[in-house]
Amino acid sequence: MKLATLRTADGHRAARIDEAAGHATLLDASDVGALLVLEDWATAAAADGETVPLDGVDYAPVVPQPGKIFCVGLNYRTHITEMGRDLPEHPTVFSKVADTLVGARDDIRRPSETEAFDWEVELAVVIGKTVRRADEATAADAIAGFAVLNDVTCRDWQFRTREWLQGKNWEATTPLGPWLVTPDEVGGTRPTLTVRTTLDGEVMQEDTTGDLLFDPVHLVSYLSTMITLRPGDVIATGTPGGVGHARKPPVYLQAGQRIVTEVEGLGRCDNTVVADGPGAA
Protein backbone atom coordinates (compact mmCIF):
# COMPACT_ATOMS: atom_id res chain seq x y z
CA MET A 1 0.00 0.00 0.00
CA LYS A 2 1.19 3.51 -0.85
CA LEU A 3 -0.05 6.44 1.24
CA ALA A 4 0.57 10.12 0.59
CA THR A 5 -0.40 13.53 1.89
CA LEU A 6 -1.79 15.71 -0.88
CA ARG A 7 -2.31 19.44 -0.98
CA THR A 8 -5.86 20.17 -2.11
CA ALA A 9 -8.02 23.27 -2.42
CA ASP A 10 -9.43 22.39 1.02
CA GLY A 11 -6.07 21.76 2.70
CA HIS A 12 -4.02 18.62 3.30
CA ARG A 13 -5.62 15.24 2.72
CA ALA A 14 -4.34 11.69 3.18
CA ALA A 15 -4.66 9.53 0.10
CA ARG A 16 -3.99 5.99 -1.10
CA ILE A 17 -1.93 5.95 -4.26
CA ASP A 18 -2.66 3.52 -7.10
CA GLU A 19 -0.01 4.06 -9.75
CA ALA A 20 -1.33 1.31 -12.03
CA ALA A 21 -4.81 2.88 -12.11
CA GLY A 22 -3.37 6.38 -12.30
CA HIS A 23 -5.40 7.79 -9.44
CA ALA A 24 -5.34 8.58 -5.72
CA THR A 25 -8.18 7.70 -3.36
CA LEU A 26 -8.86 10.43 -0.81
CA LEU A 27 -9.08 9.14 2.76
CA ASP A 28 -10.85 10.35 5.89
CA ALA A 29 -7.76 11.91 7.49
CA SER A 30 -6.08 15.27 7.10
CA ASP A 31 -2.65 13.73 6.39
CA VAL A 32 -0.69 10.50 6.74
CA GLY A 33 0.39 11.40 10.27
CA ALA A 34 -3.25 11.81 11.34
CA LEU A 35 -4.12 8.53 9.63
CA LEU A 36 -1.42 6.59 11.48
CA VAL A 37 -2.76 7.75 14.84
CA LEU A 38 -5.94 5.72 14.22
CA GLU A 39 -6.01 2.40 16.08
CA ASP A 40 -6.72 0.44 12.88
CA TRP A 41 -5.12 2.77 10.36
CA ALA A 42 -4.54 0.02 7.79
CA THR A 43 -8.28 -0.64 7.51
CA ALA A 44 -9.00 3.09 7.24
CA ALA A 45 -6.33 3.37 4.55
CA ALA A 46 -7.98 0.62 2.48
CA ALA A 47 -11.42 2.30 2.48
CA ASP A 48 -13.19 3.45 -0.68
CA GLY A 49 -13.46 7.14 -1.38
CA GLU A 50 -13.34 9.88 -3.96
CA THR A 51 -10.60 9.42 -6.52
CA VAL A 52 -8.49 12.05 -8.23
CA PRO A 53 -6.06 11.56 -11.15
CA LEU A 54 -2.40 11.35 -10.18
CA ASP A 55 -1.44 13.65 -13.02
CA GLY A 56 -1.00 17.06 -11.44
CA VAL A 57 -1.43 16.12 -7.75
CA ASP A 58 0.59 18.22 -5.31
CA TYR A 59 2.54 16.14 -2.78
CA ALA A 60 3.13 17.58 0.67
CA PRO A 61 5.76 15.95 2.89
CA VAL A 62 4.34 12.48 3.51
CA VAL A 63 4.08 13.35 7.23
CA PRO A 64 3.86 17.16 7.30
CA GLN A 65 4.32 17.63 11.05
CA PRO A 66 6.06 14.62 12.60
CA GLY A 67 6.45 14.88 16.36
CA LYS A 68 10.05 13.68 16.04
CA ILE A 69 12.54 13.37 13.20
CA PHE A 70 15.57 11.33 14.19
CA CYS A 71 18.47 11.04 11.75
CA VAL A 72 21.37 8.62 11.75
CA GLY A 73 24.78 9.68 10.49
CA LEU A 74 27.60 7.42 9.30
CA ASN A 75 25.44 4.34 8.83
CA TYR A 76 26.68 3.08 5.43
CA ARG A 77 30.12 1.50 5.29
CA THR A 78 30.89 3.33 2.01
CA HIS A 79 30.05 6.75 3.46
CA ILE A 80 32.00 6.11 6.66
CA THR A 81 35.05 5.21 4.58
CA GLU A 82 34.84 8.27 2.33
CA MET A 83 34.52 10.55 5.36
CA GLY A 84 37.66 8.98 6.89
CA ARG A 85 36.04 7.61 10.05
CA ASP A 86 36.03 4.33 11.95
CA LEU A 87 32.95 2.11 12.03
CA PRO A 88 30.84 3.20 15.03
CA GLU A 89 29.77 0.85 17.80
CA HIS A 90 26.44 2.65 18.22
CA PRO A 91 24.23 4.75 15.92
CA THR A 92 25.26 8.40 15.52
CA VAL A 93 21.99 10.22 16.16
CA PHE A 94 20.88 13.80 15.58
CA SER A 95 17.50 15.39 14.94
CA LYS A 96 15.67 17.62 12.51
CA VAL A 97 12.61 19.80 13.01
CA ALA A 98 9.45 19.68 10.91
CA ASP A 99 10.04 23.10 9.35
CA THR A 100 12.94 21.61 7.37
CA LEU A 101 10.54 19.38 5.38
CA VAL A 102 9.29 19.93 1.84
CA GLY A 103 7.33 17.75 -0.56
CA ALA A 104 8.71 15.40 -3.18
CA ARG A 105 8.27 17.94 -6.00
CA ASP A 106 8.82 21.17 -4.06
CA ASP A 107 11.75 23.52 -4.48
CA ILE A 108 14.70 23.15 -2.10
CA ARG A 109 15.78 26.52 -0.73
CA ARG A 110 19.52 27.05 -0.85
CA PRO A 111 20.46 29.47 1.97
CA SER A 112 22.65 32.38 0.96
CA GLU A 113 24.55 31.80 4.22
CA THR A 114 26.20 28.56 3.02
CA GLU A 115 28.91 27.78 0.49
CA ALA A 116 28.65 24.00 0.96
CA PHE A 117 25.10 22.80 0.24
CA ASP A 118 25.13 19.01 -0.08
CA TRP A 119 22.79 16.08 -0.79
CA GLU A 120 22.14 12.82 1.11
CA VAL A 121 19.65 10.24 -0.19
CA GLU A 122 18.16 8.22 2.67
CA LEU A 123 15.67 5.47 3.42
CA ALA A 124 13.20 6.98 5.91
CA VAL A 125 11.26 4.87 8.40
CA VAL A 126 7.78 6.03 9.43
CA ILE A 127 6.43 4.81 12.76
CA GLY A 128 2.89 3.39 12.95
CA LYS A 129 2.54 2.35 16.61
CA THR A 130 3.46 3.84 19.97
CA VAL A 131 6.47 1.97 21.36
CA ARG A 132 8.93 2.33 24.24
CA ARG A 133 11.91 0.05 24.90
CA ALA A 134 10.84 -2.13 22.00
CA ASP A 135 12.36 -5.56 21.50
CA GLU A 136 13.12 -6.69 17.95
CA ALA A 137 9.66 -8.11 17.20
CA THR A 138 7.86 -5.08 18.66
CA ALA A 139 10.16 -2.70 16.80
CA ALA A 140 9.48 -4.42 13.48
CA ASP A 141 5.73 -4.32 14.12
CA ALA A 142 5.91 -0.58 14.82
CA ILE A 143 7.18 0.26 11.32
CA ALA A 144 4.27 1.55 9.23
CA GLY A 145 6.40 1.91 6.13
CA PHE A 146 9.21 3.64 4.31
CA ALA A 147 9.72 6.80 2.26
CA VAL A 148 12.50 8.70 0.51
CA LEU A 149 14.27 11.51 2.37
CA ASN A 150 17.01 13.85 1.12
CA ASP A 151 18.96 15.07 4.15
CA VAL A 152 20.28 18.22 2.47
CA THR A 153 23.08 19.66 4.58
CA CYS A 154 25.02 22.90 4.94
CA ARG A 155 28.45 21.29 5.42
CA ASP A 156 30.25 24.48 6.45
CA TRP A 157 27.70 25.01 9.22
CA GLN A 158 27.66 21.30 10.11
CA PHE A 159 31.39 21.30 10.88
CA ARG A 160 31.55 24.61 12.73
CA THR A 161 31.38 22.54 15.93
CA ARG A 162 31.45 18.88 16.92
CA GLU A 163 27.62 18.84 16.94
CA TRP A 164 25.90 18.57 13.54
CA LEU A 165 22.44 20.00 14.24
CA GLN A 166 23.18 23.50 12.91
CA GLY A 167 24.11 22.11 9.51
CA LYS A 168 21.00 19.97 9.26
CA ASN A 169 18.14 22.26 10.27
CA TRP A 170 17.65 24.84 7.55
CA GLU A 171 14.12 25.72 6.55
CA ALA A 172 12.56 24.05 3.50
CA THR A 173 15.61 21.95 2.61
CA THR A 174 14.55 18.34 3.27
CA PRO A 175 12.27 16.51 0.80
CA LEU A 176 10.24 13.65 2.32
CA GLY A 177 8.01 11.54 0.11
CA PRO A 178 6.47 11.12 -2.29
CA TRP A 179 4.58 8.51 -0.31
CA LEU A 180 4.83 5.93 2.46
CA VAL A 181 5.13 2.34 1.21
CA THR A 182 4.16 -0.44 3.60
CA PRO A 183 6.80 -3.12 4.35
CA ASP A 184 4.94 -5.91 2.54
CA GLU A 185 5.61 -4.17 -0.78
CA VAL A 186 9.39 -3.90 -0.35
CA GLY A 187 10.41 -7.20 1.24
CA GLY A 188 9.71 -6.55 4.90
CA THR A 189 11.07 -4.33 7.65
CA ARG A 190 14.73 -4.96 6.74
CA PRO A 191 14.56 -4.35 3.00
CA THR A 192 17.53 -4.41 0.64
CA LEU A 193 16.76 -1.61 -1.80
CA THR A 194 18.84 0.40 -4.25
CA VAL A 195 19.26 4.05 -3.28
CA ARG A 196 20.39 6.64 -5.82
CA THR A 197 21.01 10.36 -6.24
CA THR A 198 21.32 12.12 -9.59
CA LEU A 199 22.32 15.77 -10.05
CA ASP A 200 21.29 17.27 -13.38
CA GLY A 201 21.10 13.70 -14.71
CA GLU A 202 24.51 12.54 -13.43
CA VAL A 203 24.57 9.70 -10.88
CA MET A 204 26.22 10.87 -7.66
CA GLN A 205 25.21 8.16 -5.19
CA GLU A 206 24.24 4.54 -5.74
CA ASP A 207 24.23 1.74 -3.18
CA THR A 208 21.79 -0.58 -1.42
CA THR A 209 20.32 -0.50 2.06
CA GLY A 210 22.04 -3.86 2.57
CA ASP A 211 25.15 -1.78 3.38
CA LEU A 212 23.50 -0.27 6.47
CA LEU A 213 25.35 -0.92 9.72
CA PHE A 214 22.20 -0.40 11.83
CA ASP A 215 19.03 -1.51 10.04
CA PRO A 216 15.51 -0.06 10.50
CA VAL A 217 14.44 -2.56 13.15
CA HIS A 218 17.59 -1.98 15.20
CA LEU A 219 17.11 1.79 14.98
CA VAL A 220 13.49 1.64 16.16
CA SER A 221 14.54 -0.52 19.11
CA TYR A 222 17.54 1.69 19.93
CA LEU A 223 15.71 5.01 19.74
CA SER A 224 12.65 3.74 21.61
CA THR A 225 14.97 2.86 24.49
CA MET A 226 15.58 6.60 24.89
CA ILE A 227 12.10 7.96 24.28
CA THR A 228 8.61 6.88 23.26
CA LEU A 229 8.19 6.69 19.49
CA ARG A 230 4.71 7.61 18.25
CA PRO A 231 2.75 7.25 15.00
CA GLY A 232 4.09 9.62 12.37
CA ASP A 233 7.58 9.90 13.83
CA VAL A 234 10.31 9.64 11.20
CA ILE A 235 13.75 8.01 11.30
CA ALA A 236 16.20 8.80 8.50
CA THR A 237 18.59 5.85 8.33
CA GLY A 238 21.68 7.49 6.83
CA THR A 239 23.28 8.02 3.43
CA PRO A 240 25.76 6.01 1.34
CA GLY A 241 28.98 7.21 -0.27
CA GLY A 242 28.97 9.80 -3.01
CA VAL A 243 28.10 12.99 -1.16
CA GLY A 244 29.43 16.20 -2.67
CA HIS A 245 31.55 17.15 0.33
CA ALA A 246 33.73 14.04 -0.01
CA ARG A 247 34.49 14.54 -3.70
CA LYS A 248 37.80 15.90 -4.91
CA PRO A 249 37.23 18.69 -5.59
CA PRO A 250 33.99 19.03 -3.60
CA VAL A 251 30.73 19.46 -5.50
CA TYR A 252 27.88 21.43 -3.96
CA LEU A 253 24.30 22.23 -4.93
CA GLN A 254 23.69 25.49 -6.77
CA ALA A 255 20.48 27.38 -7.55
CA GLY A 256 18.85 26.11 -10.74
CA GLN A 257 20.08 22.52 -10.40
CA ARG A 258 17.78 19.50 -10.35
CA ILE A 259 18.42 16.92 -7.63
CA VAL A 260 16.64 13.54 -7.77
CA THR A 261 16.81 11.13 -4.83
CA GLU A 262 15.16 7.73 -5.13
CA VAL A 263 14.86 4.43 -3.33
CA GLU A 264 13.87 1.27 -5.18
CA GLY A 265 10.14 0.61 -4.76
CA LEU A 266 9.52 3.90 -2.93
CA GLY A 267 9.46 6.43 -5.75
CA ARG A 268 11.56 9.56 -5.96
CA CYS A 269 11.93 13.10 -4.76
CA ASP A 270 12.55 15.34 -7.79
CA ASN A 271 13.45 18.85 -6.65
CA THR A 272 14.86 22.07 -8.04
CA VAL A 273 17.30 24.09 -5.95
CA VAL A 274 16.39 27.79 -5.61
CA ALA A 275 18.24 30.66 -3.99
CA ASP A 276 16.96 31.80 -0.60
CA GLY A 277 17.94 34.51 1.84
CA PRO A 278 19.46 37.99 1.72
CA GLY A 279 20.63 38.82 -1.76
CA ALA A 280 18.98 35.77 -3.35
CA ALA A 281 18.42 36.15 -7.05
Domain-embedded: residue 281:
no
Kindly state the average pLDDT of the residues 185-194. Answer: 97
Kindly state the average pLDDT of the residues 271-280. Answer: 90
Residue 80 confidence (pLDDT): 80
pLDDT tens-digit map of 157-187? 999 999 999 999 999 999 999 999 999 999 9
DSSP-assigned states of every residue in the chain: -EEEEEEETTEEEEEEEETTTTEEEE-SSSSHHHHHTSTTHHHHHT----EEESTT-EEPPSSSS-S-EEEEES-BHHHHHHTT-PPPSS-EEEEE-GGGEE-TTSPEEEETT-S-EE--EEEEEEE-S-BSS--HHHHHHTEEEEEEEE--EEHHHHTTSS--HHHH--TT-EEEEEEEE-GGGTTSSS---EEEEEETTEEEEEEEGGGBSS-HHHHHHHHHHHS-B-TT-EEE----S--GGGSSS-----TT-EEEEEETTTEEEEEEEEEESTT--
The domain containing residue 20 runs over which residues?
1-60
If asked whether residues 56 and 69 sit together in one domain, one would say: no
The percentage of the chain sitting over the pLDDT mark of 70, rounded to a whole number, equals 100
Domain-embedded: residue 248:
yes
If asked whether residues 196 and 239 sit together in one domain, one would say: yes
Residue 77 confidence (pLDDT): 82
Kindly state the average pLDDT of the residues 101-121. Answer: 98
pLDDT at 79 over 80: no
If asked whether residues 229 and 96 sit together in one domain, one would say: yes
pLDDT tens-digit map of 217-264? 999 999 999 999 999 999 999 999 999 999 999 999 999 999 999 999
**Total count of domains within the chain:** 2
If asked whether residues 116 and 15 sit together in one domain, one would say: no
If asked whether residues 159 and 184 sit together in one domain, one would say: yes
- Residue where a domain terminates, one of 34, 60, 86: 60
If asked whether residues 70 and 107 sit together in one domain, one would say: yes
